[in-house]
Amino acid sequence: MTIVFAAAAGLTLGACGSGASSAATSQDQSAYLAAVAVAAPDISTYRNATQLIRMGNAACDGFASGAGYEEVADRLALEQGSDPLPTADLGAVISTAATTLCSKYRSDAQ
């Protein structure tokens, strides 16, 4: 599962990113996907690599706008609509984004 997940990530890295998180490199995005997969082993049953990168970028954008962890989590949960991630997986996405995609917000994600 991880090999397929990583392969999919390689295909999507160049197409993602906006706002504050656009400075994340392909290497940062690969590290993010790998770390999310470790922190939330079931994550690939809920979201693909493209979706996870978009969520990570949205978390970074939220931190960049001045939002705190809970507000970022609330925003991401709202954006997911009727198909939300389990709470622990959402937490893994946010925390991992703040440590790999936008590390200047690392302290905001704790």
- Position 11 scores a pLDDT of 35
Q: Is 90 exceeded by the pLDDT of residue 3?
A: no
Element (H, E) at 53: helix 49-64
pTM of this structure: 0.77
Identity (one letter) of the amino acid at 80?
A: Q
- The span from the CA of 43 to the CA of 53, in Å, is 12
The residue extents of the domains of the chain are 2-109
Q: Is 80 exceeded by the pLDDT of residue 16?
A: no
Share of the chain above pLDDT 90, in %: 65
- pLDDT digits 0-9 by tens, 54-87: 999 999 999 999 999 999 999 999 998 888 999 9
Residue 12: pLDDT band (50, 70, 90) is very low
Structure tokens belonging to residue 88: 């622990």
- Angle at the Cα of 10 (from 67 to 78), degrees rounded to 5? 30
- Angle at the Cα of 40 (from 48 to 10), degrees rounded to 5? 35
